[in-house]
Structure 1
């Protein structure tokens, strides 16, 4: 005979049923979560590079690659065709202005100096000979002039005597006329001799001047050869370092050929390269930032090459502090040519997955989920992008390469 169950038994059975149902529901939930977790893409946070959106001033720049070069570099060339006789320095060596770098053979120059000196001595001899000849001719003319002067006095005396005698009729007029003509003839001869003296002086002086001019030309040529002989000893033109040196002892060199290069290693400038796409945005003296490691140096654009090779322009940037100690020759640096400034805008650090200007998709992390978000990027500086829309301050944005996840709208960040 069946008896009704007690309340205690019924409660135990209900509790057992509820436990079984609860366990089944929990198992289903855990199973569903596990399936969802297994099939939902996820990335470890340690594998991601992120940046926080912040409000700050943005300096808009055009980025270029730069190379540190000496502000002052001088090339010493050979002034004669010769041979390298002796090398007294080596590349990289510190030098002071006037230090001997190398010496050239001067045999040809010495022979030319001897030849010119002989020609100068010959001109001196010719000048002296011309002066002797001129003096001899002048002495002969002076002697003739003295004799004619005596003849003039004698003929003048005879003419005066005949004039007096002709007045009393003691002498014929014919004799008087002849005496007068003799005086005139003598005066003409004296005048001719004086003109001959002047002609001899002028002619002799002209020949002496010509010879002296030829001598002066030779003296200038001698000075030039002496200078070339001195220049055969190649010396440093400034304090600095040897960046290059002809180290081939005994090698032939031509006039005008480079022998050494000296750089002032205390002052530098930047030579930058930039795509010709940005040519229209460049202005003379525009400001520039030069970044090396964590250091920022200011400068300005001073030169832009008029020619473009393979779509690349060459620029020259002088530094506000050209003697910056950390700069070294041939050091690679980043150059930012400043075109604009944005004050108090949203900014995001640059990264592989954050491209340049325009509309782009990025992933923003919220509660360990990365959501694909469309943003608009405006201006850019060396390290930052201006965010015009799509992000808020303090948003965490993935800036590492996420091309493998570009098709997803979201994924988990573990």
Structure 2
């Protein structure tokens, strides 16, 4: 049996021209060269990179130049600028006339303290004052009587002196006429001298005795004045048993119970002045050296931002924090409440034309001395010198230029590599 072949089904092909083959070879070579040219930089970067990280895992930022504001943000608490605490002036039983939270006016009676001992002392001192005033009046009358007696003695001595002078004149005239002897004339002269001496002594005695009487009367007056001061002091203590509100506001805390026995100088209640509020903030210890009285601050209450000024800094550090006070610039915002929490921002420093970048975790990753500059898909480890830091920005003193793009997120993924390939 004869098996036929497939010759009848074959088609005879014409051989291709050599030129067409060369064109296809040239085209393939060109495509290959183009591919190599385009991928060569990527291959070169890949060969240089020590690490490779996806761009989606990084946060990039551009170095800019502008005004740098260094500030801190802390939580503040509304406190009354004036919140006096009232103390018991003496021991006794206290009776409150108001309750905690009541509105009060300046001068309103808030509480009274019953102190029988102090009341009794006031009565005793008043009684002693009355006794001293009687003694003063008695001494005054006695002084006037004695002064009158002294004046009588002086007047009597004066009359005797005048009589002696007249007697001497008559004796002299009689002696000149031969009616008196020399002995009688000398006797008249002796009487005049005696009268003069007695008159002079009477004047001196009257003056000294009057001075003594005035001194004794003045002593009595001083005793009265001293006792008056003592009575006024005790009256002041008795009046201070009535506690008066020093300001317009509300009653704060009642520090003791109603009808409780209190001791001297014991705090019993507080009054809050609602017309003046301040903000008490706790500032971290690391910022203490940067704080200064008079610094400007912003206080946010809802959607409203109010200006404030730093007015007080505590000298004591507690739990690594320092207490400071901010005072609102007029007018004080409405609707504030005691102990209300508010966000505050204290402006520490402001510089102009400063090279800066947004704040990020790269600071902690590189200890503030290293940044990764991104160029052509590669991140290059670059030494930097940082300056001041704020809540949102960091001042760059050296190592970067305006327009540079750096990695501001954590660079722990780079493992300290000098070059890192960033994949899209």
The TM-score with structure 1 as length reference comes to 0.71
- Deviation string for 1:368-402 (max 9, x for gaps)? xxx99979776543455568989999x99997xx8
**Residue 164 (structure 1) shift:** 1.0
User: What is the rounded CA distance, in whole Å, between the counterparts of 1:170 and 1:312 in structure 2?
Assistant: 119
2:86 to 76, 81, 85: 76
Kindly indicate whether residue 240 of structure 2 is the aligned counterpart of residue 231 of structure 1. yes
Kindly indicate whether residue 263 of structure 2 is the aligned counterpart of residue 254 of structure 1. yes
Question: What secondary structure does 1:113 align onto?
Answer: helix
Indicate the residue corresponding to 1:17 in structure 2: none
Kindly indicate whether residue 69 of structure 2 is the aligned counterpart of residue 59 of structure 1. yes
1:103 to 93, 104, 112: 112
Question: What secondary structure does 2:326 align onto?
Answer: strand
2:176 to 154, 167, 184: 167
Q: What pairs with 1:78-97 in structure 2 (closer than 5 Å)?
A: 78=88, 80-97=89-106
Q: How many pairs does the alignment contain?
A: 370
Q: CA distance change for structure 1 residues 87 and 199 in 2, over 3 Å: closer, same or farther?
A: same
Indicate the residue corresponding to 1:125 in structure 2: 134
- Deviation string for 1:111-157 (max 9, x for gaps)? 12211111111111111221222223223333333433343343333
Between stretches 104-113 and 206-215, larger displacement belongs to: 104-113
1:336 to 328, 346, 360: 346
Greater Rg by CA: 2
User: What is the rounded CA distance, in whole Å, between the counterparts of 1:403 and 1:397 in structure 2?
Assistant: 7
User: What is the rounded CA distance, in whole Å, between the counterparts of 2:61 and 2:270 in structure 1?
Assistant: 50
Q: What pairs with 1:196-345 in structure 2 (closer than 5 Å)?
A: 196-291=205-300, 294-309=303-318, 311-321=320-330, 323-330=332-339, 331-341=341-351
Q: CA distance change for structure 1 residues 352 and 249 in 2, over 3 Å: closer, same or farther?
A: farther
1:116 to 106, 117, 125: 125
Q: Is the 8 A contact 1:152 1:186 kept in 2?
A: yes
Question: What secondary structure does 1:336 align onto?
Answer: strand
Superposition RMSD in Å: 4.3
User: What is the rounded CA distance, in whole Å, between the counterparts of 1:187 and 1:387 in structure 2?
Assistant: 110
Question: What secondary structure does 1:111 align onto?
Answer: helix
Q: CA distance change for structure 1 residues 353 and 71 in 2, over 3 Å: closer, same or farther?
A: farther
Indicate the residue corresponding to 2:32 in structure 1: none
Structure 1: stretches of 5+ with no match in the other structure: 8-40, 365-370
Q: Is the 8 A contact 1:270 1:317 kept in 2?
A: yes
**Residue 208 (structure 1) shift:** 1.3
Structure 2: stretches of 5+ with no match in the other structure: 12-52
- Deviation string for 1:154-202 (max 9, x for gaps)? 3333222211111132222122111111122122212222222222221
User: What is the rounded CA distance, in whole Å, between the counterparts of 1:232 and 1:118 in structure 2?
Assistant: 21
Question: What secondary structure does 2:333 align onto?
Answer: coil
- Deviation string for 1:273-321 (max 9, x for gaps)? 3344334433442323334555433323333334445654333332324
User: What is the rounded CA distance, in whole Å, between the counterparts of 1:353 and 1:293 in structure 2?
Assistant: 33
User: What is the rounded CA distance, in whole Å, between the counterparts of 1:293 and 1:406 in structure 2?
Assistant: 42
